Structure 1
Amino acid sequence: MATLSSQLNRNSNDLEALVRIFKALSDQSRLRIIALLAEDRRRSVSEVANELGMSISSVSHHLSILGNLGFVGKKRNGKQVYHSLDDQCVRDILKRAIEHVSGN
């Protein structure tokens, strides 16, 4: 079985992808958005902004970053676009990180 170190050293593209993922997850606003979308309900940009007390432009910016990484998907319903957390791995990472910092 390969070690974590050897897995990372084997492919620099994987390492760069991990850096992008952790960089995206290192932002407090994006973590709050991910946690909200992890509640298994699609939300519009304005719903996310209202629920988190953020501006619509800021939420749009963060959703774009998360969407580019494949974390968040969107579905159009008429004129409204709804966003959801589409990556179970990200949900699991956040859950495990919360458990880690809370001592569980």
Structure 2
Amino acid sequence: MTIDATFLVSYEAKFKALADQKRLLIINELCQYEEVCVCDLVEKMDIPQSKLSYHLKILLDAGFILKETRGTWSYYRLNEGEINKVLSLELCCMFTKPSSTTNAQTKC
């Protein structure tokens, strides 16, 4: 299987977005609730709003979270489809050696 360079660049950005403790904590926080106002995230994360915005932008650009603006506040929620895509068996199978028989453990 040949891997497209655009595909690799896309996944590189996604994995870079996940390679930060603060961003993983943000994702964990968003897993707890359907959506969270940025004002509440600032309190829960105990980091300045400017740093939180920086991390949220990276997660947003990677497609892991979704943003909805209502008035002056922004509300964030997890994009479960994108998270599941990165953690999918399909992605794991891309990096396994092809074999003549299907591996029962990986289902590839």
Amino acid paired to 2:18: L
Match of 1:55 among 24, 45, 48: 48
Superposition map of 1:41-52 within 5 A = 41-52=34-45
Alignment RMSD:
1.8
Q: Does 1:25 align with 2:13?
A: no
Structure with larger Rg: 2
Q: 1:90 corresponds to which residue? A: 83
| 8 Å Cα contact 2:38/2:73 also seen in 1 | no
- Once residues 22 and 84 of structure 2 are traced to their aligned partners in structure 1, the CA distance between those partners, rounded to angstroms, is 15
Give yes or no for contact 1:70–1:87 (8 Å, CA) kept in 2: no
1:15-69 per-position Cα deviation (integer Å, ceiling 9, x unaligned): 1111111111001111000111112331122211211211111111111111112
Gaps of 5+ in 1: 1-5, 94-104
Query: Taking structure 2 as the reference length, what is the TM-score of the superposition?
Result: 0.69
Take 1:72 and 1:10, find their aligned partners in 2: how far apart are those partners? 26
The match for 1:11 among 4, 19, 25 is 4
Contact 2:63 2:82 in 1 (8 A): no
Count of residue correspondences = 86
Match of 2:66 among 69, 73, 92: 73
TM-score normalised over the length of structure 1: 0.71
Instruction: Name the counterpart of 1:3.
Output: none
